[in-house]
Amino acid sequence: GGVYEGYMYSVPGGTVQVLLLDLRTWRSDHLYPSPHDAGGCVSSASEGLDAGYCAQPAGAMLLGEEQWNWLAEEMRRPATVRVIGSSLQFGSWPHNRNGDETWAAFPHEHA
């Protein structure tokens, strides 16, 4: 399995739940802009460009089924405040400057 964890803290007035996600273990391989074909994409980072963006294929994932199931179960636990830690920004492509380092690059994972 991956490295994801959840913590529950009792505080005056309720509870705080902290969920830390693993966005690397199950992450799908990326497509990168091709240096030889404008608008084309390649699957190898060593062949692709560092800058730019390629739409990730349908079904490309970050969390994987195991972690999605865990997250769904954790979200059912009652909490006054819930904090979710993500190592990727929730920015919207194509306006970010981080290429595919954003949740927006993985539309299948927006459930």
Total domains in the chain come to 1
**Residue 53 domain-assigned (yes or no):** no
Per-residue confidence (pLDDT) for residue 91, from 0 to 100: 66
pLDDT in tens, 32-57: 777 777 767 777 655 655 556 676 77
The pTM for the full model equals: 0.73
Query: Of all residues in the chain, what percent carry a pLDDT higher than 90?
Result: 37
- Is 68 within the bounds of a domain? yes
Average pLDDT rounded to a whole number, residues 21-25: 90
Q: Residue 33: inside a domain, yes or no? A: no
Range of the domain at 65: 5-27+60-109
* Any domain includes 46: no
Distance CA 57, CA 80 (A): 37
What local confidence, expressed as pLDDT, does residue 69 receive?
A: 95
Q: Name the DSSP class of 1.
A: -
Q: Is residue 15 included in any domain, yes or no?
A: yes
103 in any annotated domain: yes
